[in-house]
A and B are shown apart, each in its own frame.
Chain A
């Protein structure tokens, strides 16, 4: 059984009296120990999905349909107390903004020890030992003395490491990382990505990595789920996705990535603008920009096709497969 199963998930926000779905029937699963990337541009619903898993959607946004199961437990109907127990201990999240994730008024140690003591029921000196150990694990030099320092005394990259330390301090079974490197410099970004990969190996973490950068997740993920307009367009192993993308959107997205190995100037942007939730028709959200669009794409949601572990949602890919 998969550790996390998201099935036919819908997330909606009421806009002018009707429910507008930003996530429309999303299904994916993460096996224990796996690292899965959820890729999408702004408006694709990726961050809302992460919040829905933690049941932290900002009201009036809510889950409109479908289910989320974690280790067999139905999270969509779990009560508030059960969710509190899960959050931080079994499932934890690292957000992109490392500054607002930490309270500037308390030392790193206080914040870290509080989290550990609260979730693991440890005495404070035991919790302190674990805090030092965790800070060392995320590569913060001289962790014992840095415990008494405050967030502003850390650089952006170090703050993100502290946040990751907080997230993994209770040895969660699932770590969700929501664009954890967006605000960071490139060399620091590379370090954080290496750190996540190392932690996965050392702790056997299960990782859900959320980003708009397909190329970034290649460094840490086994599989990727590509979202567009709240729908799953394609899901496959990273290597397959890069080598043999089938969905036209995935293909177009890969064409947008500037590569050092391509000749200069060869860059194929996707024409047109990203979809606006609420203004989407019943068909494939990518249809208006799709080079392979046919009539049925506007009328019907894209047809799901499965090649082994490679999922694609597209009418054209489906007809290619039949032909």
Chain B
């Protein structure tokens, strides 16, 4: 961990990611105003001491909305990646292990899913099932959970591929053979030998996918398929600000845009730094001089 923070990129990434996380958790307490509070008398106000980031077309405090907007962004990013990790690792590991029909079926299905860009899938599917809660039998799946589930499923192919690639190599490694020769069980070998050694690229990929999730959430909200107004989200704030781009009210789009950019940059920097520090071969190399 110390080596991770020792790199400038890793440090900046960690600081940005921590900031976004803290903001998302503490938004109710640190936001100066209710983000939904409409004050038409004070609409489109310039940034000032009362409204640090100004107000939007309904007179709502932009700072408060940006702070609250971290919540849907981060929750979509994190929860979707969690779903993607569970599905991707399971499929990737089992496909690499069975090497038969299941491998063919699973990995071809992953290829098919991955052949269409994620954002297009997302927009197409939300467009088909519609905005708003999705009724599944007696339950109604809230709109946000629907997006999380959708994006999570769309993450599975890339995480499965990374796991599969690493696991294929590890299953052939001599230490796995040695374990098999000593009669170790299949599940034990898979979980205690193969998985830990192919996990690093998966973690890196997952970190980068959190950033993708933030962009997907913002994009869906921007085209009106995501977080439903008037609830704040960086995406629908940008959608609201569309009309003011050429009229001079720059604060309406600059601040939510900045929030998206900084959090995406944060997760990307963190992912890159993780890639460098998690590689065990690299870690081993720094310890010794090769002459």
Direct A–B contact in complex, judged by CB atoms less than 8 Å apart = yes
| Closest 3 A/B residue pairs (Cβ) | A22-B291, A45-B291, A43-B291
Residue total for A at the interface (Cβ-Cβ under 8 A): 16
B291 touching A20, Cβ below 8 Å: no
Q: B288, A42: Cβ atoms under 8 Å? A: no
Chain A residues with a Cβ under 8 A of chain B? 13, 15, 20, 22-23, 42-48, 230, 276-278
Q: How far is the CA of A42 from the CA of B291 in the complex (A)?
A: 6
Distance in angstroms between the alpha carbons of A174 and B289 in the assembled complex: 28
B interface residues with partner A (beta carbon < 8 Å): 288-291
Q: Closest CB of chain B to A129's CB: distance in Å?
A: 41
CA distance A47 to B291 in the complex (A): 6
Are B291 and A48 interface neighbours, CB within 8 A?
yes
Q: CB-CB < 8 A to A48: which residues of B?
A: 291
Determine if B291 and A44 form an interchain contact, defined as CB atoms under 8 angstroms apart.
Answer: yes
Residues of chain A with a CB closer than 8 A to B291's CB = 22-23, 42-48, 230, 277
Cβ–Cβ < 8 Å partners of A22 in chain B: 289, 291
Bound Cα distance A20, B288 (Å):
11
CB of B180, distance to nearest CB on chain A (Å): 28
Pick the most buried of B288, B289, B290, B291: most chain A CB atoms within 10 A of its CB: B291
A13→B289 CA distance, assembly (Å): 8
- Please name all residues of chain A whose beta carbon is closer than 8 Å to the beta carbon of B288 when the two chains form the complex: 276
A47: chain B residues within 8 A (beta carbon): 291
- Complex interface: chain B residues within 8 A of A46 (CB): 291
**How far, in angstroms, from A276 to B289 measured CA to CA in the complex?**
8
Chain A residues closer than 8 Å to B289, beta-carbon distance: 13, 15, 20, 22, 43, 276-278
A/B interface sample: 14 pairs, CB < 8 A: A13-B289, A15-B289, A23-B291, A42-B290, A44-B291, A45-B291, A46-B291, A47-B291, A48-B291, A230-B291, A276-B289, A277-B289, A277-B291, A278-B289
Please give me the residue from chain B that is nearest to A22 by CB atom.
Answer: B291
Give chain B residues whose Cβ lies under 8 Å from the Cβ of A43.
289, 291
Q: How far is the CB of A191 from chain B (nearest CB, A)?
A: 29
Contacts of A276 in B (CB 8 A): 288-289
